[in-house]
Amino acid sequence: MNNIFKLKLTALGHPNPVGFNSEDEKEYRSVVLWLEDQKIRHYKIEEREGLRNIESDKWKDAYNTYQRDLVSPVVEGTLNEQLNWLLSYAVRLEYADNVTKYKDVKVEQPKQSAPNVVSSNPLDNLDFDSPAFKAGVERICALTGVGPHSDPKVRLSAVAKILKTAPHPDFPKNEFNMVQQPVDVLKLLFIQDLRELQTKINEALVAVQTVTADPRTDTSLGKVGR
């Protein structure tokens, strides 16, 4: 939660977003006051007295009233949830005040906020323009005898075509392990996938059998030959 608070406070231009500790009652109260004074400005200045008395026992009552006046949906929630809503509300107001300024802003790194689970397959994230990729393509092209082309992707698809239609090229002895080991790993992963698929096929067959199967024998038909 603190991380979200930090981001929102930074966005709102709070003087000390990094040092803010929501667990500290005093700091919490002063941020609420700062939000009302600087950003939300729901009350007239003289009406903000209740919130301004940070040291007072009556502050909590004033805070509750304030939230009800703002129609906050989380009045009954935890202190953190309450503050989070206030911060979001303030950000919304800030945006509404300066729509023209903010509407064209693009998010620079969308993956930063989401956990990195989607890209578990490294092949999805291949950077086709990276020097490492180009150098790798250069090397397999040399091994498979694929000629030069300005686009490494074109060369890679040529390699794929060769590997599909012709026997695999022999690798130089010193390259052997470097090529063989990853190939072995890929083969094992493939076998694992295949086993899962076959198991599902078998399960489907068994499910059908429960409907269709009726094996019978009739020994009276049997006849032993000469």
Beta-carbon-side half-sphere exposure of residue 80 (alpha carbons within 13 Å): 11
224 binds other proteins (CB under 8 A): yes
Give min distance, CB of 220 to other proteins, in A: 8
180 binds other proteins (CB under 8 A): no
Please identify, using beta-carbon distances, which residue of 45 and 191 lies nearer to other proteins.
191
Hey, what amino acid is at 179?
Answer: V
15 touches other proteins by CB under 8 A: no
Cα–Cα distance measured from residue 85 to residue 32, given in angstroms and rounded to the nearest whole number: 11
CA-CA distance, 104 to 7, in Å (whole number)? 19
- C-beta closer to other proteins: residue 1 or 191: 191
Task: Report 195-214 residues binding other proteins (CB under 8 A).
Answer: 195, 198, 201-203, 205-206, 208-209, 212-214
| Distance of alpha carbon 129 from alpha carbon 136, whole angstroms | 12
170 contributes a contact to other proteins by CB under 8 A: no
Pick between residue 45 and residue 188 the one whose CB is nearest to other proteins: 188
Task: Determine the size of the site formed for other proteins (CB under 8 A).
Answer: 29
> Are 177 and 183 within 8 A, CB to CB?
no
d(CA 151, CA 15): 50
H or E element in which residue 30 lies: helix 25-34
Site for other proteins in 31-50 (CB under 8 A): none
Please list, residue by residue across 30-40, b when 16 or more beta carbons sit within 10 angstroms of its beta carbon and e when fewer do. bbbbbbbeebb
Q: Is 145 left (phi over 0), alpha (psi -120 to 50) or beta?
A: left
**Does residue 223 touch other proteins according to CB under 8 A?**
yes
Q: Minimum distance from CB of 105 to other proteins (Å)?
A: 52
Q: Please state the closest distance from residue 206 (CB atom) to other proteins, in A.
A: 5
CB 156 within 8 A of CB 139: no
186 binds other proteins (CB under 8 A): no
Task: Provide the binding-site residues for other proteins, judged by CB under 8 A.
Answer: 165-167, 187, 191, 194-195, 198, 201-203, 205-206, 208-209, 212-219, 221-226
